[in-house]
Structure 1
Amino acid sequence: MAEPVEDPIHHLEHTCLRLAQWLGAPAASGLLVVDAPYQAVPVGSDVMARELASAELTITHGPGIDTLRSGHPQPEIALTGPMARVRWPRWTAQATDRGFSAAAGFALTRQGAVLGAITVLSDQPLRVDPDRQQAARLLADAAAAGLNAQHLLRKAEETGRQLEQALISRILIEQAKGVLSERMGISPATAFTLLRNHARSRRMPIRDLADAVIEGRALREDPT
């Protein structure tokens, strides 16, 4: 399994730079998925590339957006030709204004999930040979593996926090049941029913009520 990346944004920026250099292009832009395919962070190998990535998110079209939506790489396309101007009119205008004339997209996917997209930007046709194209895909796959490991790590940490909070809640409720059992001379089962009904009637989390019972701030006497 790949090692989780410490900074996903820096990781994707570095991958943009390496991918552009490997393909002999001056720049590459990227979109890093943070929640869903249409919620992404723009990155780039330089300022102009980052601006073009940001523009895609603003105008909601461009090669990076198409890559995120499809999960598949985008073949090289001439930005000076009619196809690019029809598919991405506003983005293409901004790209050509910055001196770019060709673009190709790479999808960063792992286990069926689209984690990001990189668009290589060139001021001339890329004309990449098959071996170099394959190596570029491997580089994109390696970047995706690191992002996926980070995603899995975050999920594991979140699950751990949820389990910890659930355990704390359970401990508090058990302690509150004991307090009520002793205070009111009732069984633990009856104490739990009392806690649950009291929390529901006041629309408060049972954990908060349990904490208040333990501290002597609630149910000091039998409410019945």
Structure 2
Amino acid sequence: MSETREAQVVDTFLALTDTLVHDFDALDILTMLAERCTELLDVSAAGIILADGQGRLSVAAASSERSRLLEVFAVAIDGGPCVDCVRGGVQVLCDDLLGAEAQERWSRYARGASEAGFRATHALPMRLRDDVIGVLTLLHTGPHTLTTEDARLGQALADAATVGLVHERAVRRAETVQEQLQGALNSRIIVEQAKGVLAAHSHLGPHATIGPDEAFVLLRSHARAHGQRLTELARGLVDRSVDPTTVLGVSA
């Protein structure tokens, strides 16, 4: 492992487990996890699905719009390696979704993944002892075998994120695991609405008309540059207390 990659791994683990900071943001942490997976592992994209206390699944974060939509599709059809992983609590690795076994087992998911541009899906459980709170999905655009090293690192990252989320709840005492996870899911809804607000106003800014991915980059960059929590900025855009042109970079 190179010194640069080793430093990235250490930084990622610290961020995932440092729940004592006052501005801990579950959505930001999960988004960071998805993005870091594409940097640290040999994968094209990543997504995270969380389960609530009643077993319902929702997409919490993704590294790109394409991977987010595929995760939404998997939840909608209640099928695919990621759904099987969170239901069973064990890794489900599929090297080629066009293979005979995958076609027989996940035919609808395989078609959706192919349309989204993905050929391989590797699902790693987010689990603390017997409690499975979600799944980290690793995607690749071509047939792909997850190496033993990448599988171990990916699982370790998923475990660290799980511990971080659960421990944050324990530190604050006022929240339960279900409330913490539901908060992340609710935040995702607000962020998706804020992305829509930015996209609708993008013609007012210096950029060409932007899509969901570009809107999220602007949203997150503005929040970090101004020391704001991502969800607070998103909520401000949705309730119109924040002018979208300030996020789009329009001069006064």
Taking structure 1 as the reference length, the TM-score comes to: 0.63
- Between the aligned partners of 1:22 and 1:74, the Cα distance in structure 2 is 20
C-alpha distance after superposition, 1:86-139 (max 9, x if no partner) = 222222111111221111111111132111101111012333432332222211
Question: What do you get for the CA RMSD once the two structures are aligned?
Answer: 2.1
1:148 aligns with 2:166: yes
- Amino acid in the other structure paired with 2:163: A
Q: Give the corresponding residue for 1:177.
A: none
Q: Give the corresponding residue for 2:30.
A: 12
Q: % of aligned pairs identical?
A: 27
Does the residue aligned with 1:61 lie in a helix, a strand or coil? coil
Retained in 2: the 8 A contact 1:67–1:73? Answer: yes
1:27, distance to aligned residue in structure 2 (A): 0.5
1:158, distance to aligned residue in structure 2 (A): 4.8
- Between the aligned partners of 1:129 and 1:23, the Cα distance in structure 2 is 9
- Amino acid in the other structure paired with 2:141: D
- Between the aligned partners of 2:146 and 2:156, the Cα distance in structure 1 is 15
Query: Any gaps of 5 or more consecutive residues in structure 1?
Result: 160-224
Q: Indicate which of 174, 191, 195 corresponds to 1:157.
A: 174
Q: Give the corresponding residue for 1:130.
A: 148
- Amino acid in the other structure paired with 1:82: A
Q: Give the corresponding residue for 1:78.
A: 96
1:34 aligns with 2:52: yes
Retained in 2: the 8 A contact 1:34–1:41? Answer: no
Q: Give the corresponding residue for 2:184.
A: none
Retained in 2: the 8 A contact 1:72–1:106? Answer: yes
Does the residue aligned with 1:157 lie in a helix, a strand or coil? coil
- Amino acid in the other structure paired with 1:136: G
Cα distance 1:36–1:7, how it changes in 2: closer, same or farther (>3 A)? farther
Q: Equivalences for 1:73-222 in 2 at 5 Å? A: 73-153=91-171, 156-158=173-175
Taking structure 2 as the reference length, the TM-score comes to: 0.56
Retained in 2: the 8 A contact 1:16–1:44? Answer: yes
1:61 aligns with 2:61: no
- Amino acid in the other structure paired with 2:151: Q
